[in-house]
Structure 1
């Protein structure tokens, strides 16, 4: 089968699990004998490539007509953002680019991870050519222009007008694709999208992201100090500021250290506010191997997300090496955590409940070793080859499921 993987972000330009998933699946499909190509965005003109052979597959890294590249979305001035989103939905040059890629590679199947930044109206090209298409819902991009339904420091209780209008345009494009299906790493994310967008009539699948992570090169060694870890993008939605403010007064009573791995728009502010404390180390972005080794040397992963997380890869990377997780109750996180077996769940943003749970673990750190031993039994749930094969099985169902257009 000739499979086109679509992901605006693609290695080495990675910001999260969706891009790692796209890369891992591309390499696995290639290893299984499929012809595979990747369509992604180029940060600058000098990064562009056209069907370039790479590790057995082909890479189309293209420039786009947007007022700024998708890589600058978090730093672009506010006045440019509405223009960017209009271009992303309607600019005919997006369609022309998709047409060229389709004509050159001639895929039998298209798998979309992240089309925002390449152009949603590229979906019209897939419809015109009747190419069966699977969309993995890594976030809420089809119902929210910010992709999170989170604004400022709180979740959106309903769609704003701009998001509704954007969604209606996307619905129109999707409705023309005769063979279409949706995949979500969490049931919570799938249900949320389905509550706002009529996708229930299409084949839908709950499949964890097939992601492989490096094996730690260092063993887990006991320590008198409780070693806490945060891995993720440094922004409000991830709750890192909430966690640091919560831990600050506890540092006077308990012996712990927090390592923060990741980068993001809040990094400089967090360094100014908390960087002088000896109990925290804000490291920044590090390679995946260093993440794995840091996990091996940690006792508890904190995932204090304030928005509706989907199924963060950092959680099953942690559980895969036996690292227990304390996570918020948002989105798909409760689907991954079995309280008392591989970690604990606390209400998102609830200072009292999070403090209570952390104090319990800091006062009785022997609980963490018991959780570690039980967390190791979770690894079978995240078997990479099994999940990748489930993806292929879903593709086959979508390919054979034809319905009249304009029915979404």
Structure 2
């Protein structure tokens, strides 16, 4: 089967989970015997082969490339978004590629930088279309809604009105979480689409690892962006109120708060600041971790660290906001607390025991196969066949 994936960015350009999932999907479908093409934004028009996947990079007409958007000031990003939404440049370039490849199905991920008219173009050439959701970007351009700031401003409401009209109803819409699907349902997106919740795959090799746990202290792990909305400063402040030598927290990630976080935990041997590390190092790290903590203060879709931790048989303590808590059952494979609620998080940390951790870790064993890329690709193939 010929399959075209379309995403804003593709390896080696990456900004977050959408790019990781898009590449894993493309590679998985290619290994399954399909002819896979990717259309993505680039600094110039080009074509190359990345593994078994043919990658077509296009540069739609706009003020600047999507690759550099985070480097630009707000006043310049605003007209960029307007052009991106209504321009035919990217969709026309993508259409030329689609007509040349003649795919059986198109799978779209994030379309910023390619253009939202791409969906209309796919309908026009009458190719089956699966759209995979990753965040709230079709309602909020930043893809970020913080707790306490759920009310959308006028610009966001106007933006959502147009994205809804431009997207219409793809044949199938896939969401990694029930929360995200309902977020769009209650705003009347994708009215006539078939809808499917399908958990994102785990991309690390976490099976077969021997757990090497300390019988005394709790070893906790934070993996994520070092940003305020991810709750890292909140987490450090909460943990500093606990008795000395009761825990260690390993911090992995990068972001604008890198120096601030590093400064807050220096000279405190309960904290280990690693910054960014390679995926194979993350795999090794999970072997000595009692629990992962996801303290987000924003509405999450389906954080990769949760599925990764469960697949590594590491229980998860997560703020219950958005879709973050969907995979967690209190006392079974982790704990949930109200986002930003210091007392609730402290109560969990002070009451859990090593016996609780051991039992929850055993309960996590089922997740290793459940979140495999192979199973994810098989589920996608069933959607393609139907």
Scaled by the length of structure 1, the TM-score of the pair is 0.87
Q: Give 2:370's aligned residue.
A: 381
Scaled by the length of structure 2, the TM-score of the pair is 0.92
Q: Give 2:91's aligned residue.
A: 95
Q: Give 1:239's aligned residue.
A: 231
**1:135-155 Cα shifts (integer Å, max 9, x gaps):** 1111111111111223xxx34
Q: What does residue range 146-295 of structure 1 map to in structure 2 within 5 Å?
A: 146-150=142-146, 154-175=147-168, 180-215=171-206, 219-223=210-214, 224-250=216-242, 252-295=243-286
CA distance in 1, matches of 2:277, 2:64: 26
Mean Cα displacement is larger for which, 226-235 or 215-224?
215-224
Q: Give 1:404's aligned residue.
A: none
CA distance in 1, matches of 2:62, 2:269: 44
Mean Cα displacement is larger for which, 270-279 or 186-195?
270-279
Contact residue 233 and residue 262 of structure 1 kept, 8 A = yes
Contact residue 226 and residue 257 of structure 1 kept, 8 A = yes
**1:209-236 Cα shifts (integer Å, max 9, x gaps):** 2343223796321223321101112222
The count of aligned residue pairs is 385
**Does the C-alpha gap of structure 1 residues 276 and 113 become closer, same or farther in structure 2, counting only changes over 3 Å?**
farther
Query: Which residue of the other structure, out of 390, 397, 400, is the alignment partner of 2:379?
Result: 390
- Consecutive unaligned residues of structure 2, counting only runs of 5 or more, are none
CA distance in 2, matches of 1:394, 1:217: 31
Query: Which residue of the other structure, out of 79, 100, 104, is the alignment partner of 1:104?
Result: 100
CA distance in 2, matches of 1:105, 1:269: 49
CA distance in 2, matches of 1:268, 1:65: 37
**Does the C-alpha gap of structure 1 residues 269 and 78 become closer, same or farther in structure 2, counting only changes over 3 Å?**
farther
Q: Secondary structure at the match of 2:238?
A: helix
**Does the C-alpha gap of structure 1 residues 262 and 138 become closer, same or farther in structure 2, counting only changes over 3 Å?**
same
**Does the C-alpha gap of structure 1 residues 159 and 395 become closer, same or farther in structure 2, counting only changes over 3 Å?**
farther
Q: What does residue range 136-151 of structure 1 map to in structure 2 within 5 Å?
A: 136-150=132-146
**1:90-144 Cα shifts (integer Å, max 9, x gaps):** 2332233222322332222111111112221222321221222111111111111
How much does 1:86 deviate? 1.0
Mean Cα displacement is larger for which, 339-348 or 372-381?
372-381
Q: Secondary structure at the match of 2:13?
A: coil
CA distance in 2, matches of 1:255, 1:64: 54
- Consecutive unaligned residues of structure 1, counting only runs of 5 or more, are 398-408
What is the RMSD of the two structures over their aligned residues, measured on CA atoms?
2.2
Q: Secondary structure at the match of 2:326?
A: helix
CA distance in 2, matches of 1:294, 1:189: 30
CA distance in 2, matches of 1:101, 1:241: 46
CA distance in 2, matches of 1:63, 1:138: 23
CA distance in 2, matches of 1:242, 1:61: 40
